[in-house]
Amino acid sequence: MKVLVYSAKDFEIPFLKLANKGAHEITFISERLTTETAFRAIGYRAISIFSADDASYHVLDKLRDFGVLYISLRSAGHDNINSMAAARAKIKVANAPGYSPNAIAEHAITLLLGLNRKLIRSFLQIREQDFRLNNLIGIDLVGKKAGVIGTGRIGKVLCNILHGFGCELLANDLAPDVKLASNFGVRYLELDEVCRKAHLLFICVPLTDQTYRMIDADRIELMQDSAILVNVARGAVVHTEQLLNALDNNQLGGYATDVYEDEAGIFFYQHSEDKKVDDPLFWRLFDHPKVLLTPHQAFATREALTKIAETTIYNLNCWEEGKDSINAI
């Protein structure tokens, strides 16, 4: 099958080639899928896209006209694709769920520890031969209430890790996990109650109509002034401007995030030789002393990249053989 891989990154191409084992004729391009680049798919039966690619109604309409029949996402999240429009266009879609919940959960802990123990500030101070500790005071995690919003694959692993730190676990999910509650003493509460009680809050939910900007000024007002919020879900689950206002007004202790709501076209690309990224809200987030930001790298482990590549090729193999993928959306 001829396959076009959009948003191909140098670090992932070797994993995809290894998983493919020569089964498909794959072309890699660095461009994102947009209305302007959809024409690149002419002559291909399948494409593969990443989380920053645009598979909205108008793009899918073009892809259908160009003869694309299949889309394999190299991500678990699929909020960037209009699944109803894909179904109408008779384009089959599958994602890469559960590729490595450990990678994401471990990065969430990395963000928490980095922000709490002021690691970036400490490193920069030492480079200036400033060894004072005045601005480097953190908190112990043991005994703290940790709220996990969303206890799917990633949330479950996160609860396991936080339990090891000796945290008291609170959670919110549409489908509470009885086994998780039994094994780690997780208490499921209403979302607002988790926001009120938790010293540490972790966002692990997919981006949907219901979760879009669910962490806004009203929810932040419920939180403790010293609470730390960690986001390894999607940037748009948080209302960034309202969160920054809360940080400015000392209504929140800190925000550690691997995502940003307008990251498309910014993250995953080299901008150092370009003009400064034209996004004032991004720079406000980047420069804030109570924020630790990483560029959507939580998934970037060898294990996760191997699994993503294998799942991507598995989806393509299923379609080539006339079968449905178990990852169909």
- Mean predicted confidence (pLDDT) in 254-276: 87
Cα R_g (the chain), whole angstroms: 21
**Residue 99: what pLDDT?**
82
Query: Which residues share a beta bridge with 87?
Result: none
- Mean predicted confidence (pLDDT) in 21-27: 97
Q: Which residues of 37-75 are buried (b: 16+ CB within 10 A; e: fewer)?
A: bbebbeebbbbbbbbbbbbeeebbbbbbeeebbbbbbbb
36 contacts 62 by C-beta, under 8 angstroms: no
Q: How far apart are CA 5 and CA 49, in angstroms?
A: 6
- Mean predicted confidence (pLDDT) in 159-163: 98
Spot the catalytic one: 12, 168, 261, 263.
263
For residue 274, is pLDDT > 70? Answer: no
**Residue 265: what pLDDT?**
85
Q: How far apart are CA 16 and CA 110, in angstroms?
A: 27
Please indicate whether residue 219 is annotated as part of the active site: no
State percent of the chain over pLDDT 70: 99
For residue 174, is pLDDT > 70? Answer: yes
Please indicate whether residue 261 is annotated as part of the active site: no
CATH class of this structure's domain 2-99+302-320:
alpha beta
Spot the catalytic one: 153, 219, 234, 239.
234
Tokens of 318: 């299923």
**Residue 272: what pLDDT?**
78
**Residue 270: what pLDDT?**
84
Q: How far apart are CA 5 and CA 31, in angstroms?
A: 9
**Residue 205: what pLDDT?**
96
Residue 277's pLDDT band (cuts 50, 70, 90): confident
**Topology agreement, domain 2-99+302-320 and domain 101-293:** yes
- Mean predicted confidence (pLDDT) in 79-106: 94
**Residue 63: what pLDDT?**
97
- Mean predicted confidence (pLDDT) in 218-236: 97
pTM: 0.93
Ranking 41-50, 179-188, 276-285 by mean pLDDT, the lowest is 276-285
**Residue 100: what pLDDT?**
87
- Mean predicted confidence (pLDDT) in 62-87: 95
Residue 271's pLDDT band (cuts 50, 70, 90): confident
Residues 30-43: tens digit of each pLDDT = 999 999 999 999 99
Give me the residue spans of the domains in the chain: 2-99+302-320, 101-293
Residues 245-257: tens digit of each pLDDT = 999 999 999 999 9
For residue 77, is pLDDT > 80? Answer: yes
- Mean predicted confidence (pLDDT) in 83-111: 95
Please indicate whether residue 263 is annotated as part of the active site: yes
**Residue 269: what pLDDT?**
85
Give domain 101-293's CATH superfamily: NAD(P)-binding Rossmann-like Domain (3.40.50.720)
Spot the catalytic one: 296, 302, 320, 321.
296
